[in-house]
Amino acid sequence: MNNQEDEKDLEFCNQYYEFYQFLGAHFPVAVLGGPFNDRDVVIDYAKRVTKTTISKVIEEGNEVLSLSPFPWEIITDLTQLYFETSEEAKEWLKEILEILKSTQATE
């Protein structure tokens, strides 16, 4: 990464802190650590944090979904997942947020 990318990443982290932590701390571990699927990662995360944190991640995630241009390269870097297009990353994120929302309904 160059300095401009580092600054962009830091700005994104500061603006969407809980969302950034959710993606950056949980998905790379799943990718590197074994046979986890996205649903398992999200459900495990939801068990470890407060409802307030979950609500904040959903709120920030929805804000990120509305950004133009959509920051799919940051999503890719954070999650260590490969997306061919911005739209593919956006669809994946929508699914992840829906799973996270569903954890609130079951409590």
pLDDT tens column, 46-75:
999 999 999 999 999 999 999 999 999 999
State residue 50 phi and psi, 5-degree precision.
-80, 160
**Cβ contact 98:39 at 8 Å:** no
pTM score:
0.85
> For position 100, what pLDDT does the model report?
96
Each domain of the chain, given as residue ranges in start order, spans 3-105
Are 69 and 86 spatial neighbours (Cβ–Cβ below 8 Å)?
A: yes
Those residues of the chain that have pLDDT short of 70 are 1-6, 28-35, 106-107
CA atoms of 74 and 101, how far apart (whole Å): 22
What pLDDT sits at residue 40? 87
Q: What is the pLDDT of residue 102?
A: 94
User: Which pLDDT value is given to residue 28?
Assistant: 67
| Helix ranges (DSSP H) in the chain | 3-15, 17-33, 38-48, 51-65, 72-79, 86-105
End-to-end CA distance of the chain: 41
pLDDT for residue 29: 61
